[in-house]
Structure 1
Amino acid sequence: MMKRSPWAALAVASLLAAGLSGGAFAQQTVKIGAIYPLSGNAASAGTSAKAAIELAVDIINNDHPELGDITLAKGTGLPNLKGAKVEVVFADNQGTPAAGQNQALRLITEEKVVALHGAYQSGITTTASAIAERYGIPFMTGESVAANLTERGFKWFFRTTPIASDIADVYVSFLKEMKAKGMKIDNLVIVNENTEYGTSIAKVVGDTAKAGGFNVSMVIPYSANTTDVQSQVLQLKDAKPDAAIFISYTSDAILFTKTMQALGYKPPILIGDNSGFSDASYLRTVGPIAQGVINRSAWDIGKPGSPTFLINEMYKKKTGNDLDDTSGRVMQGFLALAEAVNRAGSTEPAKLQAALKATDLKPNQLMMGYKGIKFDAKGQNILASAMLIQAQGDQYVAVWPKESATAELKLPYKAWEK
């Protein structure tokens, strides 16, 4: 056997050192998967969510001291992982539960992401998060609100957004206050798309309204992929509700608004349940004929110079649009996930899970108007909250509750009237 020279041994040692150095350097990127509808009927919302996450990554990876106490804004990268940068691998769920499930599997097994975020539609979040649960990978949603998502006994699922019961309480409290002020609000109608999101919200809102003393005279479900809602609008017109609550995605919300104008019908109060009504393309497309529509939100641009104002300016520079509530909730969920990864100081699943469970973010650390972020045993943020906003002119303004309002509530629903 030939004896290895000292110089050869030194060369091997140098190569090994270089290899280890390269491996250590490669680990300075933390990969997170993001599953959103980048094609299909909800592509507009998915594209906005993608832009919001990209902005969150910019805030995390680069130094933004102007954003004050916003999570991970100061400094660069994840300090507890030696400044590791966050990398996002986006996947298109195509607006279907099956595609969402397949993409979750691909991101975990092929892309080797350390956590997942998504997936906008609650029905897709259901299937995608089930894959994450099977593989023991954290799954965060900042926007999917179906109540049952945190009722499955999952240990790896976390949600920062308000849920159906929180939302229903907001609507009922608002309607009770309007009734106390003398408005006739006896008859409610709920119109909902028929996937997991619309069906679950409709049930919770209906049950809460009935418990609050309101008569829900009709629930009108429809297919989220429909191209004609004349029959649903005629049903609504015949029911003569004092308030109508719509649970719709973007294309549906636009279609209903146009159809109501075409058929000359508008209820005294129209509440849109975020989602499609929050999409920037909604006001851009039908804003002039939807004046006074009420929407729920946890996002407020804030005063000039404030962290939220500056975040909105960054988003507007990137996309040409103001940040909407849904995209804001996506961004907040992603920032909370990244904060937990940093606090864990590791990408090991068990340590990430423990860090998420221990999350305790304060209002000053958040870009959304929550009372904080703290998860219960089911993975739900117990400090999530919301307010009501109204379309006035070319934007939404905060109108309820009074302490959160930046403009006066205007009723009845004006729609297309001057």
Structure 2
Amino acid sequence: MYVTTLCKRFVQAGIAMAISLSAHAQQEIKIGVIYPLTGAAASSGAEMKSALELAVDIINNGAKSVPNLPFSEGGGLPNLKGAKIKLVFADHQGNPQAGATEAERLITQEKVVAIVGAYSSNVTATASQIAERYKIPFINPESSSASLTERNFKWFFRTTAHDDLFVHNFFEFFKELEAKKGIKVKRLAAFNENTLWGNETSKLETKLAAERGYDLTKVISYPAKSTQLTSEVQLLKAAAPQVVMQSSYLGDAIMAMKTYKELGFSPDMILANNSGFTDTEFIRTLGKDAEFVITRDVWSLDLAKNNPLIKEVNDLFFERNKINFTGNSARTFTGLMTLADAINRAGSTEPEAIRKALIQTNIPGNKIIMPWKGIKFDNKGQNVYGSGILVQIIDGKYNTIWPFDLATRDVVWPMPKWDQRK
């Protein structure tokens, strides 16, 4: 047992030394990134990959049009003599085992100093376990399953808020909707995919509905890779909820909306839990059939009125990719910028030094593109300043409708019936 433990320590020490020597010798800092570049979530993965590439280009080469953004002067990381960041991409295909395998490859073969990923909560769970074992920092910009920061990990850091907060936001919205708009919501349904993210969301929604006196008429969990949702939607329609709270990745989100229309299912509102409902392809594919859906989010372009940095960086993203940021890609950009800040403050590529710098992170809200108070991690690796908003699709755009003091448009309620839409 002693020999095994000693050997493991030598392997970890060797990896750390190789990482540090490689970075300083080549003036290049290799960061591994694990995202769904193929498979059902490939569209989302592509947008997040583009966000990472923009962040690295700003750090390495500068962006004079956004002087208030950290590293906008370019030239690499100043505290490491201008060392440039190089991203090493890995495709997890939406498969947790593939995510774990790729994490190990990035650490042991590519000698990355840290890992960023992995969007899908169930993949983040397995990939971050590998990083924890090898003592390599793992930055999670997007995955929202609350349990990810309840594992007593020391090397896991999440910049986004999580579903415990987001689901609480749903019920706060219902309460304020009645108090401030005179709209009373009582009958709910939960319709969620059945991986870690969707299952945890269902449990939270069930718990809060009971605690707050709502009638949860139906809870449906469907296979994440379903090819049709007809029977599930028929069950929803029979339950007759006012609001369907839904957690779906892109393919299922589009399929669900098409099925709602085909079967004439028209609740007062679809209240979505981000993900597929905020992907650029959602509106592009559905067109007018995407209208009026409300989804929780963490970013919206219309909030640039409160933080000019949002529009300034989005303009750079649009110039390169001809699309705007989404809540997903904006969070991915922010995650990598947070990691770069920590590596620079550490002045080292040694994993323990980066981990300590991440623990000490305290980035103010006016230095990030998210509508948050900033980024600061608690002892579980969770950003305590992450927060959520609700946006509604109106005229083909996402408009902030809650919190009401941040709203740029009034909420449209209820959604028009399918046969009453123009």
Task: State the shift of 1:186 in Å.
Answer: 1.0
Check whether the contact 2:141–2:335 (CA below 8 A) recurs between aligned residues.
yes
Matches within 5 A, 1:6-405: 26-180=25-179, 181-301=181-301, 302-303=304-305, 306-405=308-407
3-state secondary structure, aligned to 2:338 = helix
3-state secondary structure, aligned to 2:363 = coil
**Deviation string for 1:334-387 (max 9, x for gaps)?**
111111111111011110000000000110011111111110111000110011
Q: Distance in 2 between matches of 1:25 and 1:177?
A: 54
Q: Give the corresponding residue for 1:7.
A: none
Task: State the shift of 1:28 in Å.
Answer: 1.1
Q: Distance in 2 between matches of 1:44 and 1:337?
A: 24
Q: Distance in 1 between matches of 2:352 and 2:312?
A: 35
Q: Distance in 1 between matches of 2:70 and 2:287?
A: 33
Q: Distance in 1 between matches of 2:138 and 2:48?
A: 16
Q: Distance in 2 between matches of 1:23 and 1:56?
A: 22
Q: Distance in 2 between matches of 1:83 and 1:62?
A: 11
Task: State the shift of 1:185 in Å.
Answer: 1.1
The one-letter code matched in structure 2 to 1:277 is: F
The one-letter code matched in structure 1 to 2:345 is: R
Task: State the shift of 1:328 in Å.
Answer: 0.8
Considering only aligned residues, what root-mean-square deviation do their CA atoms show, in Å?
1.7
**Deviation string for 1:87-137 (max 9, x for gaps)?**
100000011001000000000000000000001100000000000000000
Q: Distance in 1 between matches of 2:403 and 2:93?
A: 37
The one-letter code matched in structure 1 to 2:32 is: G
Q: Distance in 1 between matches of 2:274 and 2:294?
A: 9
3-state secondary structure, aligned to 1:72 = coil
Q: Distance in 2 between matches of 1:166 and 1:365?
A: 23
Task: State the shift of 1:394 in Å.
Answer: 1.4
Q: Distance in 1 between matches of 2:113 and 2:24?
A: 17
Check whether the contact 1:290–1:415 (CA below 8 A) recurs between aligned residues.
no
Q: Distance in 2 between matches of 1:24 and 1:307?
A: 31
The one-letter code matched in structure 1 to 2:284 is: R
2:410 counterpart (403, 408, 411): 408
Question: Residue 96 and residue 182 in structure 1: after superposition, are their counterparts in 2 closer, same or farther (change >3 A)?
Answer: same
Task: State the shift of 1:310 in Å.
Answer: 2.1
Q: Distance in 2 between matches of 1:125 and 1:232?
A: 28
Q: Distance in 1 between matches of 2:373 and 2:55?
A: 20
Task: State the shift of 1:23 in Å.
Answer: 7.4
TM-score, structure 1 normalization: 0.92
Paired-residue identity, %: 45
Check whether the contact 1:346–1:352 (CA below 8 A) recurs between aligned residues.
yes
3-state secondary structure, aligned to 1:216 = strand
Task: State the shift of 1:27 in Å.
Answer: 3.2
Question: Residue 168 and residue 23 in structure 1: after superposition, are their counterparts in 2 closer, same or farther (change >3 A)?
Answer: closer
Unaligned runs of 5+ in 2: 1-20
Question: Residue 372 and residue 25 in structure 1: after superposition, are their counterparts in 2 closer, same or farther (change >3 A)?
Answer: closer
The one-letter code matched in structure 1 to 2:224 is: A
TM-score, structure 2 normalization: 0.91
3-state secondary structure, aligned to 2:168 = helix
Q: Distance in 2 between matches of 1:369 and 1:27?
A: 37
Question: Residue 114 and residue 24 in structure 1: after superposition, are their counterparts in 2 closer, same or farther (change >3 A)?
Answer: closer
Question: Residue 134 and residue 304 in structure 1: after superposition, are their counterparts in 2 closer, same or farther (change >3 A)?
Answer: closer
Task: State the shift of 1:253 in Å.
Answer: 0.2
Check whether the contact 2:174–2:184 (CA below 8 A) recurs between aligned residues.
no
The one-letter code matched in structure 2 to 1:193 is: E
Task: State the shift of 1:63 in Å.
Answer: 2.0
Q: Give the corresponding residue for 1:18.
A: none
3-state secondary structure, aligned to 2:375 = coil
Unaligned runs of 5+ in 1: 1-21
3-state secondary structure, aligned to 1:347 = coil
Task: State the shift of 1:317 in Å.
Answer: 2.1
